[in-house]
Amino acid sequence: MMIGITYDLREDYERAGYDEEETAEFDSIETIAAIEGALRALGHATDRIGQAGTLMHRLAAGHRWDLVFNIAEGLFGFGRQALVPALLDAHEIPYTFSDPLTLSVTLHKGMAKHIVHDRGLPTADFTIVGALADLTDVTLPYPLFVKPVAEGTSKGISPTSKVHDASELRSTCVRLLARHRQPVLVETFLPGREFTVGMLGTGDSATVLGVLEITLQGEAEPEIYSYANKKFYEERVNFSLATDAASIAAAGIALKAWTILGCRDGGRVDLRCDASGRPNFMEANPLAGLNPKESDLVILGRLAGVPYRELIKRIVASAMERATPCTLVGL
């Protein structure tokens, strides 16, 4: 097939003046090259399209692809990850990963938690603070955990994210609201083990790739998988494949959340245990990182015996189940 690749290249945004944290979710040229190399090794031709603006121009010029391998994150708003899929839907071009609705809902962690909670899955009690006036409505018991409602790559998460009283809650919300210009998710702090569950496939065909336990080392910022801990994971974090009863429970919750939220092809679901050891849904990531060395899903794949090329192969195969003959360029 002819497979286009859509992405946001980190160095492009850095040249435009965005800082390290603002560009944390965007991809390196190493990631694009790895995806392209895997696709070519699988026998496909590739075309590096780039970000949404370039895609719009190329679609207007009549360009088409059999499939688009989409990892574009976007920059502004709750629908930023949905822009590329929406454009491709409008032109009936199949693509990897989730549709605009799922990408928008899961990016807003509060909306995703509302949905999984309504379907009976465990998730920490929470509220949304959109302005400082909303702090008067926060009645959850301390300690609490505070983070931006629609960021990835642990952006906005630091040691101050765990708050112990109203004063700390207010100061952390002031900082996050100003820095990230979006509401803040405030939830009951979960003190137990942390898992990320790798997912492959869609709907009834979805399967669990494996359960990765995230354990912080002595050099790490304590208790939380913070932005700094994630950045310096080689020194601060231990990743291990978990197979015990708690991880099996986490896998079951993750699979249900994945299908309830309509996630497709591949990604991750993050969970953390409460004081009794019960896994709780934290968030779903249906547009997970695919850096060949550093991304959690890729690390999990290696530990589970699924090398990078095979991971890409399974993602493409899942996406192609949605393609019809009339959408393929050569037919």
- Do 202 and 169 lie in a common domain? no
Instruction: Name the pLDDT band for 325 (thresholds 50, 70, 90).
Output: low
* Domain finish residue from 82, 97, 112: 97
Q: What is the mean pLDDT of residues 252-275?
A: 98
Q: What is the mean pLDDT of residues 97-108?
A: 98
First-to-last C-alpha distance (Å) of the chain:
11
- Determine contact, residues 125/185, Cβ cutoff 8 Å: no
- Do 12 and 81 lie in a common domain? yes
Asked if residue 308 is part of any domain, the answer here is: no
- Do 200 and 178 lie in a common domain? no
CATH number of domain containing 82: 3.40.50.20
Per-residue tokens: 223 = 């208790």
Give the whole-number percent of the chain exceeding pLDDT 70.
98
Instruction: Name the pLDDT band for 22 (thresholds 50, 70, 90).
Output: confident
- Determine contact, residues 258/106, Cβ cutoff 8 Å: no
3-state secondary structure of 194: strand
- What pLDDT score does 20 carry? 85
Q: Which of 42, 82, 53 is nearest to 286 (CA)?
A: 82
Asked if residue 267 is part of any domain, the answer here is: yes
- Do 183 and 198 lie in a common domain? no
What is the reported pTM?
Answer: 0.94
- Do 71 and 139 lie in a common domain? no
CATH number of domain containing 146: 3.30.1490.20
Q: Which of 292, 267, 271 is nearest to 282 (CA)?
A: 271
- For residue 163, the enclosing domain spans 125-188
- Cα distances (Å, whole numbers) of residue 144 to 124, 152, 155: 10, 19, 17
Asked if residue 181 is part of any domain, the answer here is: yes
Asked if residue 216 is part of any domain, the answer here is: yes
- Do 217 and 270 lie in a common domain? yes
- What pLDDT score does 99 carry? 98
Average pLDDT across the chain, whole number: 95
Q: What is the mean pLDDT of residues 92-114?
A: 98
- What pLDDT score does 331 carry? 46
Taking only the tens place, the pLDDT of each residue in 66-78 is 999 999 999 989 9
* Domain finish residue from 57, 81, 97: 97
Instruction: Name the pLDDT band for 21 (thresholds 50, 70, 90).
Output: confident
Asked if residue 312 is part of any domain, the answer here is: no
* Domain finish residue from 147, 169, 188: 188
- Do 88 and 7 lie in a common domain? yes
Per-residue tokens: 235 = 């020194």
Instruction: Name the pLDDT band for 329 (thresholds 50, 70, 90).
Output: low
Please count the helices (runs of H) and the strands (runs of E) in the chain: 12, 12
Number of domains into which the chain is organized = 3
CATH number of domain containing 196: 3.30.470.20
* Cα–Cα distance for residue pair 128/138, rounded to 1 Å: 9
